[in-house]
Amino acid sequence: MGEGSTDTPQGVGHGGGREVSQLSPSHVPVLLKEAIDFLNVRRGGTYIDATVGLGGHSYEIAKRLGAPGHLIGLDKDPAALERTAARLRPAGSGEADWPSIELRHASFASLGEARGPIADGLLADIGVSSLQLSDAARGFSFQADGPLDMRMDPQNERTAEQVVNHLDERELADVIYEFGEERRSRRIARAIVRSRPIRSTSHLAQILSAAARPMNSGSDKYERRIHPATRTFQALRIFVNRELDDLKALLEAAPRILKPGGRVVIISFHSLEDRIVKDAFREGSIKDKYYRVLTKKPVTASEEEQDRNPRARSAKMRAAERV
List residues near ligand SAM by CB under 6 A. Answer: 29, 51, 53-57, 74-77, 80, 107-109, 125-127, 129, 152, 246
State in angstroms the smallest separation of the CB of 136 from ligand SAM: 17
Compare residues 53 and 284 and give the one whose CB is closer to ligand SAM.
53
Residues 6 or more apart from 130 whose CB is under 8 A from it? 24, 26, 27, 54, 311
Separation CA 73–CA 39 (nearest Å): 15
Which amino acid belongs to residue 314? Answer: S
Compare residues 126 and 205 and give the one whose CB is closer to ligand SAM.
126
Report yes or no: 303 and 236 within 8 Å, Cβ to Cβ. no
CA nearest to 33, candidates 266, 314, 301, 303: 301
Strand 46-49 and strand 100-105: pairing?
unpaired
State in angstroms the smallest separation of the CB of 3 from ligand SAM: 21
Compare residues 54 and 266 and give the one whose CB is closer to ligand SAM.
54
State in angstroms the smallest separation of the CB of 221 from ligand SAM: 28
Which amino acid belongs to residue 106? Answer: A
Compare residues 108 and 239 and give the one whose CB is closer to ligand SAM.
108
State in angstroms the smallest separation of the CB of 214 from ligand SAM: 35
Residue 299 half-sphere exposure, CB side, CA atoms within 13 Å?
Answer: 20
State in angstroms the smallest separation of the CB of 295 from ligand SAM: 18
State in angstroms the smallest separation of the CB of 15 from ligand SAM: 17
Compare residues 143 and 202 and give the one whose CB is closer to ligand SAM.
143
Compare residues 70 and 76 and give the one whose CB is closer to ligand SAM.
76
How wide is the angle at C-alpha 42 spanned by C-alphas 76 and 55, nearest 5°? 30
Question: Three-class SS of residue 81?
Answer: helix
What's the length of the chain?
323
Report CA-CA distances (Å) from 236 to 45, 156, 181, 205, 212: 38, 14, 12, 12, 17
